[in-house]
Structure 1
C-alpha cells in the first residue's frame, strides 16, 4: 500500500526544485520571446538573406528534439567560451540549460509572433508611414502592441509547454522539481509516491494555466 506521509517533510526540498523549474521557465520565455520577435522581424524582412537565415534557424530547431539541444549546449557552451576567452570558464548546468531553452523556444515564439504581425491589417503600416513614422517606429508603437495582444493566449500556451519541458534537465543533473521528487523518493525508497505527487502537481499547474488561456481567448475574441 502506498504511503504519502513522507512527502510533507520533503516539501522544502521540493519547493526549491519548483523554484528552479519556474526560474527556468520564466527566463526561458522572456529570452525566447525577445529572440523570437527578432527572428520574426527577420523572416518578414524584404532582405532575402536575412529572411532565409531566420527561416533556416526556425526550421532547424523545430526539427530536432529539445533533449538533444539541452545536451549539446551543456557541452558546447563551455567549449565556445574557452574558444572566445582562451581560458576555461566554468558554466553551470543552469546557464547551459537556459541558453538551450531560449534558443529552442525562440523558433516557436518566432512563428507565433510572425503570425500575430501578419494578422494586423497592412493598411495600418501604410497609415503609420503616411504620418511620417519610420519602419521601426511603426512596428514598436503600432504593429507589435496589437500583435502581442492577439497572440497572448498562444504565448501562454507555449509557456505551459516549456514548463513541462523543463523536466528534461534531469539529463544534465539539474535539480528541478521532477528531479528533486525523484531523488527524494529514491533515497527513502518511495519513488512511486513521489513521482505520483510530482505528476499531480504538474497536472494541476498546467491545467489551471490552460483554463486561464481559454478565458483569455474568450475575452480577446470579444
Structure 2
C-alpha cells in the first residue's frame, strides 16, 4: 500500500483511456435496462396469461437465465455465435465484443426485470382488474390503462436498484475484451505501469457511483411511500 502512487491519473489519461470505457458502460446500462424492461414485461405478461403455450416457454426462459451466472452467458454468446452474425451488422466485426455484450445483457436482465414486473402486477388489487372488466375492457386494455401504470410507479425503486446492480455487472464484459470502464482503467494502468493503482481507482469510481445512486433511490422510495 505504501508504494501506491495515484498521481499518474490525470485528465489526459482519463480522456484517452477511461472516458471511452465509461461511455460504453453507461450505454450498456441504459440499453440493457430499457431492453430488459420491455422484454421482461412481455415475459411477465406471458407468465400471467394463464395459457400454457405462453407460460411454459416464458417460465423456462426466466428460470433458465436466473440459474446461470451472467459471466457464463456472456462467454457462451461471444464464443458460440458465428462471426458471420456480426458481419450482418454495419461495423459489427470491429465491435464484436461490445455488440455481444449488449445482446447478452438485454437477454439476461430481461429475466430479472420479468420477475420484478410480475410481482408489481400481482401487487395491484384484484378489484381494479375486475373494475376494468366491468367497464368492458379487454385484457390488453386493462393492462395498458389500469394495471401497468400503477405497477410501474410501485416498482420504480426496485427497477432502479436492479439498474444499479446491472451497472456493476457491466464490469464482467472485461472477460470478452469489451472496452468498458474497467477495461479503460486496466489499459491505462498497464501502459503507465500502475496496474494496482488503476484497479483501485476503478473500484473507487464504481463505489462512488453506485453508493450515490443507491442513496438517491432510497430518497425516492421514501418520497413514493409518503405519496401513497
TM-score range, shorter chain: over 0.9
Cα deviation digits, residues 94-147 of structure 1 (max 9, x gap): 111111001110110000000000000011111111112111111011100100
Q: Secondary structure at the match of 1:2?
A: coil
Equivalent residue in structure 1 for 2:149, among 145, 148, 161: 145
Which segments of 5 or more consecutive residues in structure 1 lack a partner in the other structure? none
Equivalent residue in structure 1 for 2:191, among 187, 191, 209: 187
Cα distance in structure 2, aligned partners of 1:198 and 1:171: 16
**Residue 127 (structure 1) aligns with:** 131
Equivalent residue in structure 1 for 2:160, among 130, 139, 156: 156
Please state how far the C-alpha of 1:75 moved relative to its aligned partner: 2.8
Match runs of 1:162-181 below 5 Å = 162-181=166-185
**TM-score of the pair, normalised by structure 1:** 0.93
- Aligned-CA RMSD value: 1.6
**Residue 63 (structure 1) aligns with:** 67
Give aligned pairs, total.
217
**Residue 5 (structure 1) aligns with:** 7
1:31 and 2:45 matched = no
Q: Say if 2:98 and 2:179, in contact at 8 Å, map to a contact too.
A: no
Cα deviation digits, residues 37-87 of structure 1 (max 9, x gap): 0000001011022112111111100000101101111134436849xx8xx
1:93 and 2:97 matched = yes
**Residue 52 (structure 1) aligns with:** 56
Which segments of 5 or more consecutive residues in structure 2 lack a partner in the other structure? none
TM-aligned CA distance change 1:124 to 1:72, over 3 Å: same
**TM-score of the pair, normalised by structure 2:** 0.91
Please state how far the C-alpha of 1:186 moved relative to its aligned partner: 1.1
Q: Say if 2:132 and 2:142, in contact at 8 Å, map to a contact too.
A: yes
